[in-house]
Amino acid sequence: MSGILKEKIVQLGMPITYHAGSDEVEAGFVTLLAPTSKNLAECGRIKQGFMRAAVDISERNSKNGSDDSDKKEDSDDGSMPSGEEVMQMIYISNVDVTNLLLEFREMLKNVGLLEGEYKMTSPIISSLSPFDIENLLGEYIANFIAASMSGNQKGK
């Protein structure tokens, strides 16, 4: 009974402070929600960037005589790359990671919940560290975008 996650909790490396009513509260995690058709444009551009990075790495490995077929066979067990592995792949490819990060920052307004309940606003997103934005993007790609392409979307 596997399926794509509906949400993924991601711990922040650098907690941020936000206002909940009149109280100032420290937030330590963001809940990422699965994309909907409202996120079609941003999700499509992020998915395209991820796919371009995968193709770029594959072509580079082919040119260098590196054979990853054993690794690919091992990963056919349904396991997905981690968010960190996704970001490493993107960074070593020729994909413009800045465009993906900016696209994701915008998308966070619709797919991110601070502490699992507060909508991510521009000021909240701006207070996140660059490391946390990268980590959130990697986890988003690994858990929602890559998972949807791997056949793990078979669910109930």
User: Which pLDDT belongs to residue 69?
Assistant: 43
Do the domain assignments include residue 1?
A: no
Give residue-wise pLDDT tens across range 2-14.
Answer: 566 899 999 999 9
Give residue 99's domain range. Answer: 7-149
Do the domain assignments include residue 55?
A: yes
Residues 121, 85 contacting (CB under 8 angstroms): no
Give residue-wise pLDDT tens across range 5-62.
Answer: 899 999 999 999 988 789 898 999 999 999 999 999 999 999 999 999 989 888 888 8
Do the domain assignments include residue 154?
A: no
Do the domain assignments include residue 75?
A: yes
User: Which pLDDT belongs to residue 62?
Assistant: 82
State how many domains the chain has.
1
Do the domain assignments include residue 103?
A: yes
Do the domain assignments include residue 156?
A: no
> What is the rounded CA–CA span in Å between residue 100 and residue 153?
23
How do beta strands 7-20 and 23-33 pair? Answer: antiparallel
Which own/partner pairs from 51-54 qualify as long-range (CB within 8 Å, at least 24 positions apart)? 52/93, 52/94, 52/95, 53/89, 53/90, 53/93, 53/95, 54/89, 54/93
